Structure 1
Amino acid sequence: MQAILKAPASMSSTVSLTVPATATNAVLAPGDFVGFGFETAFVNDYANDFSNKLMNSVAKRLPETLTIRTGGTSGDMLTYDPGQAAVKVCVSGDCPIGSSAAYILGPAYFDGFASFQDFHLSVQAPLGPTVNLSNTLAYVELALDQVGDRLAAIAIGNEPNLYPAEFGVSYSIEQYVADVELVRANLTDALGLNETIFELLDISDFAETDSTTKFTIINTFERGIDSTDNAKFAATHFYQIKTETSTLAQMQTDLMNHAVIVSNISAGVPQDVAYLAANYPAVQYIFSETGSGLTTPREIQDSFGAALWFVDFQLYSLVSGVARVDGTQRPAANHSLWVPDDSAGDVNPGPQVRAPFYAQPFVADFIGLAPGNVLEIDLASDYLVAYASYNASTGAAEKLALINFIAWADGISTASRGSVSFAVSASGLRDTVRVRRLRAEAGCQAMGYDYAGPEQNITWAGEQWSYSLDGGEGHLVANVNVSEVVDVTDGQFTVQVLDSEAILVDLI
């Protein structure tokens, strides 16, 4: 294997890549790995045909029912009024479209949970630093009346490590453990729960490992949070961009950068996954809330570069032992996979499909209907990335995902668009391989058809999703290849990947 220079280059180059013959240290891909997520207060905004069509376009590519996580900061600040006619009323905070706002919910709010009939749902039980058991029980009971046997988990609270900042109070791990036990016991008794169903922590920063007083999976479980052995998931949240990012150069450094993804995940995930496997093997580690960023411009957070980031983030999470990654959003969030309606107004126009959505069908197709064992092929590069998937029964290499993170944007980059040619060697190849492309002709700052028109269109394997063109159904685009056939000679083939592009190669 040829080592790659760390710095990105705009010129074309060739890289030699050998697919390992055996899947040593590979991870079996979960059949429901790809997930979605909606902020609690905005579940109803996503309860429409548009959202269901988009999610079903992904779900049909995987063998197991996918999960929608409903939760977030608003889920700990809500109250229920059985006499309120309105779906929700924002009463304080960042009204009317913020996540850190307090909402009063009426009975009609819970009708939204009935919309997602083809999916499992995770429902957040309101917690906060001062537990209101009657309010928590009312919310969960009414939600479960609609969800029924589609329930994936009951998450108790959201980001308890941020309660001091959100609510202006002190809050410790010990209090959180006690509050969780109180809520769990009451929900179990009131609802007759007798299964492993609870999701714990949902902390905002999985990398807080430098002190036993900080909220981490290890610290919290060491204090006995799963003493009744009915936890199903331990969840953390992740947002990639930590600083203000607005230029193409910053986008390359902060977002489209495999080394940064590896560094961020390696800071906490392997330790947590190993701890759970050794001490609580029934508890799965998940990323229940994710996004490219929170404070950067929409043209960065919701760009095609963010779609490429989300592909790599998910696949590196997978090989690190993460059981599910939820792509989460609310109508006003600039990192959204799609905007479900026009409720955010000019703050975030909708309804629209946004660029990061395209990561979901790519990752789903890489995993496929018969999930295999996945490993990363280390290219010693910050900007070129490779993953291989092996048949779970035969051990044969079946798929190869290649990402070229070198940032190129039409109208911004001064050089012409470069590419990298991968000279691939693998055993057991047929006479040809099939190549499918995740591409945007405008490059990494393309925003997709709905937001920016045909000049910034994005396709995966020739397919486009658009509210304005197909209502989220998806359709093939004229003059864009669904796939390409590449000849194999003596167990080798060469494929070209443009700067700011990803491809999926079917090897056998």
Structure 2
Amino acid sequence: MLLAAVAPLYLAAVAGAQVTVYGQAPLWQTASAATPTASPNAYNDTVLAPPPVPSPPPTTNYNLPLLKASTSVANLSIPHVGGSFFGFSIEMSVISQVLGKNSSLLGVPMLNLISNLQERSGGVLIRLGGNTQEFAALVDHIDGGHTFAKVDSGSTQTTKTPAVLYTLDMFYMASNISSMLNVKWFLGIPFNDTNWRLEIAEYGQQILGDNLLGLQAGNEPDFYATFGRRNESYQPQDYFGEIATLIQTIEGNPKIPNKNMLIGPSVATGPWTPEQVWATGYIDAYKANMYCFSVEHYPNNNCAANFNTGQAIIDPETIFPDYLNHGGVQNLVNPYINSANLATAAGKPFIMFETNTASCGGFAGISDSYGASLWAIDYGFQLAFGNFTHALLHFGGQNAFYNPFTAPPTNQSTFNEWTLGAVYYSTLVLAEAFGKTNTSQVVDLQANAASPYTPGYAIYEQGTLSKVALINYISDATGASSLLVSVSVDTGGVPASVRVKYLTSDSVSTKANIAWAGQYFGGKFQVDGRFKGTLNVTTVNCDQTANVCRIPVPSPGFALVFMNSADPMIAESQAQKTFATTARTRTVNTVTVDPTVLATSNGHSADIRGSLGSTTHGSISSTSGMNSLLPGATVLLSAVLGAFVVTKGFAR
């Protein structure tokens, strides 16, 4: 009877080619001024004091000589896949907070934000996993028709990692997104024991097809003994042996046709280093079975504050300067240079599979600030310079400070829109910097006498100087620390003029007032995924006689200098493909949950109704759903729930 009730709407959805439906306020609805009285971390209003101007300050006017041909450049990175360098890692327990409630109710702002990245890069990579993948189990049904639920896993991990229950609808959710946008996926095989649950591989390949790129084999295995998932003697050689048994099991499973798409070892560089894993013979033994090699790492952790570990709580104000320093990102990447080179020699991608400003949700006032935007830009360029092929920025749910974007809490979804994280702007910047040619190479210029506050990079495409990236970490309201960078090119190669896009804000501490080339998305609870404002690209005239282009960079600020005036990225603004709301959930009754019954993982509370938690402790330097019945389609369920306002929502 339920299927019969939905079938007419299903057929209408297929015939009308509707893009999706969405459980938030429609795009045409004006958001209420109401805000939560006790806001989760994702909407935290903490603003830190910017660090003082360095003493002595770096030179503000400096020369930057460049080489026009990549063949003349020393230490240039390998060619990269293009603008999709930054992707996303979504903790499995919070998928419904990021992508949508289920395969029938996808988040329109999410689709619009990803569409903006696709416009610049050609596609986006998303990983569904994290620590919660380790205990995940496929079930036939979850009460209430939900796609996800969470139960106690018995984990002793700091973040109290839950076990995620999921239905086949998870795969259809991903598949429906890929039917609208060029999104490719990574999934994770549960690794809590060696009684392999391979349904995620079986159905992932069956339903996602070529849109599934890889399957993670172990998430931070160097912490398995620490978290009680293995015995205390567990070492890299034991992990090596478990991969062998996993491969043997996959080889014997006819439901997994592609046997060679594993991802590992994904160590956090905590108890183990990658070199300890390589010493087991891992690369040569398993490279034929691997999609890529991977690591995970965060520069710091906020576990003590979020989980009452008993350790000293870190004051964000005291460590804010660490995120505004080029030496910090160099120190993050340098330990992986050898591993990246080994992966390259083996003919495999090398991916930073999970990262962000700090594990356990990040820091208030740092992870959600303009300073984090600059840090992530610098970090992304440095990872690319270090021969990483991708890096995935992690989402941790409502109680994380570092999310690239966040849906409103369920009880505000009828009047509030989404909230954009500062690091989303960083993904836009790198997408435009690397472009779509899939030939981009990057070099750290050691600019301004290697000043840690004013780093610079050059990007080469198809063998020719394409762009210059300039960062000014110094926050100085007087303007005295603004830069004037004199860019020159060998053989008198400067053009008559260059175009410059700026990522701007008032201070490294600000949150909402961030703009890319004059455009922005809105403040807290104001984001529908589409740009606001008018594109503003600055033209800087060059002195060809003196062979110099003088590029201003505000303090703080970031400048992307386009050396080729015909570069298509100059005109990139709002993506041509956007998505409109086709349905709205009921607007009167909302669910409330006793907070004492909510488990936590990575500080992100969740309940069985889809507002689920997330994880990740380490990486520090010291329902089947209706689409299981009606696969591959977006179903409008107003006949079932009697609470949706259904409109014809086509991509436009």
Alignment of 1:287-366 (within 5 A): 287-294=352-359, 296-332=362-398, 333-342=400-409, 351-366=418-433
Alignment of 1:406-421 (within 5 A): 406-408=474-476, 418-421=481-484
* Corresponding residue number in structure 2 for 1:83: 141
Shift of 1:416: 6.0
Take 1:157 and 1:8, find their aligned partners in 2: how far apart are those partners? 46
Take 1:269 and 1:138, find their aligned partners in 2: how far apart are those partners? 33
Q: Deviations over 1:398-417 (max 9, x none)?
A: 21000011245x7xxxx667
Asked whether 1:473 is paired with 2:530, we answer yes
Equivalent residue of 2:245, what SS?
helix
**Change over 3 Å in CA distance of 1:316–1:99 after alignment to 2:** farther
Q: Deviations over 1:198-246 (max 9, x none)?
A: 10111112xx6xxxxx633333233243525221211111212357654
1:500 paired residue among 531, 540, 556? 556
1:51 paired residue among 97, 102, 110? 110
Equivalent residue of 2:324, what SS?
coil
Equivalent residue of 1:239, what SS?
coil
Equivalent residue of 2:226, what SS?
helix
Decide which structure has greater strand share: 1
- Give yes or no for contact 1:10–1:417 (8 Å, CA) kept in 2: no
1:121 paired residue among 144, 163, 185? 185
Q: Deviations over 1:259-281 (max 9, x none)?
A: 12112211x21111223344xx1
When structure 1 is superposed on structure 2, of 432-441 and 35-44 the one drifting more is 35-44
**Change over 3 Å in CA distance of 1:112–1:101 after alignment to 2:** same
Take 1:158 and 1:107, find their aligned partners in 2: how far apart are those partners? 22
Q: When the two structures are superposed, what TM-score results if normalisation uses the length of structure 1?
A: 0.84
- Give yes or no for contact 2:97–2:406 (8 Å, CA) kept in 1: no
Shift of 1:59: 1.9
Backbone CA RMSD of aligned residues: 2.9
Equivalent residue of 2:365, what SS?
helix
- Give yes or no for contact 1:384–1:404 (8 Å, CA) kept in 2: yes
Q: Which runs of 5 or more residues in structure 1 are unaligned?
A: 1-5, 209-213, 449-456
Report the residue type matching 1:42 in the other structure.
V
Asked whether 1:62 is paired with 2:124, we answer no
Take 2:352 and 2:160, find their aligned partners in 1: how far apart are those partners? 19
Take 1:92 and 1:345, find their aligned partners in 2: how far apart are those partners? 27
Alignment of 1:166-181 (within 5 A): 166-167=227-228, 169-170=230-231, 171-181=234-244
Q: Deviations over 1:270-309 (max 9, x none)?
A: 111223344xx12221101010113553211111111111
* Corresponding residue number in structure 1 for 2:497: 432
1:265 paired residue among 333, 337, 354? 333
- Give yes or no for contact 1:54–1:472 (8 Å, CA) kept in 2: yes
Percent identity over the alignment is 19
* Corresponding residue number in structure 2 for 1:201: 265
**Change over 3 Å in CA distance of 1:143–1:275 after alignment to 2:** closer
Report the residue type matching 1:300 in the other structure.
I
* Corresponding residue number in structure 2 for 1:451: none
2:350 paired residue among 282, 285, 290? 285
Take 1:419 and 1:324, find their aligned partners in 2: how far apart are those partners? 32
**Change over 3 Å in CA distance of 1:310–1:344 after alignment to 2:** farther
| Count of matched residue pairs | 466
Take 2:358 and 2:417, find their aligned partners in 1: how far apart are those partners? 19
Take 2:248 and 2:229, find their aligned partners in 1: how far apart are those partners? 27
Shift of 1:37: 1.4
Equivalent residue of 2:240, what SS?
helix
**Structure whose alpha-carbon radius of gyration is higher:** 2
Q: Deviations over 1:74-96 (max 9, x none)?
A: 0002223223333222222799x
Equivalent residue of 2:509, what SS?
coil
- Give yes or no for contact 2:418–2:527 (8 Å, CA) kept in 1: no
Q: Which runs of 5 or more residues in structure 2 are unaligned?
A: 1-52, 100-106, 303-312, 565-652
Take 2:412 and 2:248, find their aligned partners in 1: how far apart are those partners? 42
* Corresponding residue number in structure 2 for 1:487: 542
**Change over 3 Å in CA distance of 1:215–1:247 after alignment to 2:** closer
* Corresponding residue number in structure 2 for 1:386: 456
**Change over 3 Å in CA distance of 1:99–1:308 after alignment to 2:** farther
Take 1:344 and 1:314, find their aligned partners in 2: how far apart are those partners? 35
Take 2:92 and 2:165, find their aligned partners in 1: how far apart are those partners? 12
